[in-house]
Chain A
Amino acid sequence: DAGVIQSPRHEVTEMGQEVTLRCKPISGHNSLFWYRQTMMRGLELLIYFNNNVPIDDSGMPEDRFSAKMPNASFSTLKIQPSEPRDSAVYFCASSLEGAQEQYFGPGTRLTVT
């Protein structure tokens, strides 16, 4: 099992640019979660999907953030335009059902200058 795959692992971009983070969940998992981790705020749930459908996006900080899951094996988190305060590590996780154990990807470290 390859685990949850995220790309890129590191992203450095300038303020105002569009950033797209990608996630491939574990095959067969039907729930997918996007988290953001910072020193100040810890681990925050941004949005989660069940069976490719967004269930709760109340954690998405602003309209600049959007997430899609076009099929069961792929999801994207987009920030447009990016700002320095978006700098964080973004994690994707998947699970068989919403509250059973989640499996995390290695994360994408985003730096916005």
Chain B
Amino acid sequence: AQSVTQPDIHITVSEGASLELRCNYSYGATPYLFWYVQSPGQGLQLLLKYFSGDTLVQGIKGFEAEFKRSQSSFNLRKPSVHWSDAAEYFCAVGAGNTPLVFGKGTRLSVIA
């Protein structure tokens, strides 16, 4: 069965520092991969997606993610974090005509 693991429940970074959020997946077929962000009291917003092609994908708000098939990973990165990036981040995987499977999320705190 497909699954998504986000190993870090909570991460704290300093404003201006780089960020990497980890995501590992288990899926039988070539997956579609997504990162979503949820600000407090809001719904989930799509940050970026990978379907095929270039394994480094760019998203909104300066985020990028790299698909590594050999490691079954799709880690999210940002070179310089802003205080407004504090939120919950969800990795998701899917393929074909089935619903996405979401990880349990990583909460990001940003300190001055």
Contacts and interface: CB of A to CB of B under 8 A. Distances in A.
Given A42-B104, A43-B90, A43-B105, A99 B43 contact: no
Given A42-B105, A43-B90, A43-B105, A99 B100 contact: yes
Interface stretch (B44-52, B69-77, B78-86): B44-52
Contact of B95 (A42, A43, A99, A105): A99
Nearest to B104: A42
Contacts of A93: 44
Interface residues of A, number: 21
B5 to A, nearest CB: 13
A106 B42 contact: yes
A101 B34 contact: yes
A99 B99 contact: yes
A106 B102 CA distance: 18
B99 A106 contact: no
Given A43-B102, A50-B97, A100 B32 contact: yes
A103 B46 contact: yes
Given A42-B105, A99-B94, A101-B34, A33 B99 contact: yes
B43 A105 contact: yes
A91 B44 contact: yes
A107 interface: yes
Interface of A: 4, 33, 42-43, 45, 48, 50, 56, 91, 93, 97-107
